[in-house]
């Protein structure tokens, strides 16, 4: 499955209105081809507009959206995805993720995974996957639809939260991982160890953090509103860190989780 998801994309969390339109247009113009959004971001329509105005052909893009927890019930998931497609101005997205597992299991996992698989069968999405799933939940999702059906698990991974138990489990099941918040809201770029590695390569600290994730086989979806930062981040794909540098960053793990919404987040590993 790993070959089907581009390694580098644009995240759009917290970007709305004209800000997200400009971000997407700038990203597309400097070479991004994966755009990651979600129902709860409230920006699908603006992203649809930006893509339409960009002149980039839909077939050349990889579009990801995520089903919000309110829409997980078997009778709601597909209608909500069709609504997302209308906003995005497309007949099919490339990847649809369960954004968060159903809080307190209000909707049984097999129910929403089956609905997601049905959305794929109907041609509404090319691939399906999950986000913010723990080892236990990922195991249940595999039981529900099979590991080969789960294109990725999109989780928080950055030098301060390396999530190794979950990473090892997913890899053992052949499931690809997408790292979100790879820069830890910019905290990582202030890290002296990351800055030292950046200096050694004539790179930016952001490029170092992104390269660290890419070298482990994760896809990354950093966001930026500045054209120069978008272009700079993309260059992380050309940066190769040494084994020693990778080992140095491995020591920065401190279990610092930034995405932990109360009442929604599962019991983490």
**239 lies in a domain?**
no
* Position 39 in a domain: yes
Domain count, the chain: 1
CA–CA dist 126, 34 (Å, integer): 14
Residue 17 lies in a domain: yes
Q: With respect to residue 250, please indicate whether it lies within any of the assigned structural domains.
A: no
Q: What's residue 68's pLDDT? A: 98
- Give the model's confidence band at 4: pLDDT under 50 very low, under 70 low, under 90 confident, else very high: confident
Examine residue 234 and state whether it is found in any structural domain, yes or no: no
Whether 201 has a binding-site annotation, put simply, is no
Annotated catalytic residues are: 41
| Residue-number span of the structural domain to which 61 is assigned | 2-183+217-224
Q: pLDDT tens across 171-218, in order?
A: 999 999 999 999 999 999 999 999 999 999 999 999 999 999 999 999
- Report the CATH number that the domain containing residue 121 is assigned in CATH: 3.20.20.100
pLDDT band at 1 (very low <50, low <70, confident <90, very high): very low
The answer as to whether 163 is a domain residue is yes
pLDDT tens figures, 20-30: 999 999 999 99
What are the C-alpha distances in Å from 238 to residues 9, 88, 193, 219, 233?
Answer: 15, 31, 20, 14, 10
In a domain, 11, yes or no: yes
């Amino acid at each position: 499955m790993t070959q089907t998801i581009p390694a580098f994309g644009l995240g759009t969390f917290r970007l709305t209105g004209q800000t997200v339109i400009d971000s997407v247009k700038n990203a597309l113009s400097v070479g991004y081809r994966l755009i990651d959004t979600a129902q709860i971001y409230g920006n699908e329509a603006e992203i649809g507009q930006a893509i339409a105005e960009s002149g980039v052909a839909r077939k050349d893009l990889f579009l990801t959206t995520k089903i919000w927890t309110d829409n997980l019930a078997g009778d709601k998931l597909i209608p909500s995805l069709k609504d997302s497609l209308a906003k995005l101005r497309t007949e099919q997205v490339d990847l649809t993720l369960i954004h968060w597992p159903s809080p307190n299991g209000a909707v049984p996992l097999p129910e929403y995974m089956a609905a997601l698989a049905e959305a794929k069968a109907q041609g509404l999405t090319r691939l399906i996957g999950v986000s913010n799933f723990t080892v236990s939940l990922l195991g249940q999702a595999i039981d529900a639809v099979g590991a080969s059906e789960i294109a990725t698990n999109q989780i928080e991974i950055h030098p301060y939260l390396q999530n190794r138990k979950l990473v090892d489990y997913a890899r053992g099941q052949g499931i690809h991982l997408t790292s979100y918040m790879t820069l830890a809201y910019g905290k990582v770029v202030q890290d002296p160890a990351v800055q030292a590695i950046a200096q050694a390569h004539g790179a930016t600290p952001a490029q170092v953090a992104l390269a660290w994730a890419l070298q482990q086989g994760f896809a990354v979806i950093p966001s930026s509103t500045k054209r120069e930062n978008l272009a700079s981040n993309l260059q992380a794909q050309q940066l190769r860190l040494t084994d020693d540098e990778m080992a140095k960053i491995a020591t920065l793990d401190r279990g610092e989780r930034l995405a932990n919404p109360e009442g929604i987040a599962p019991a983490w590993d």
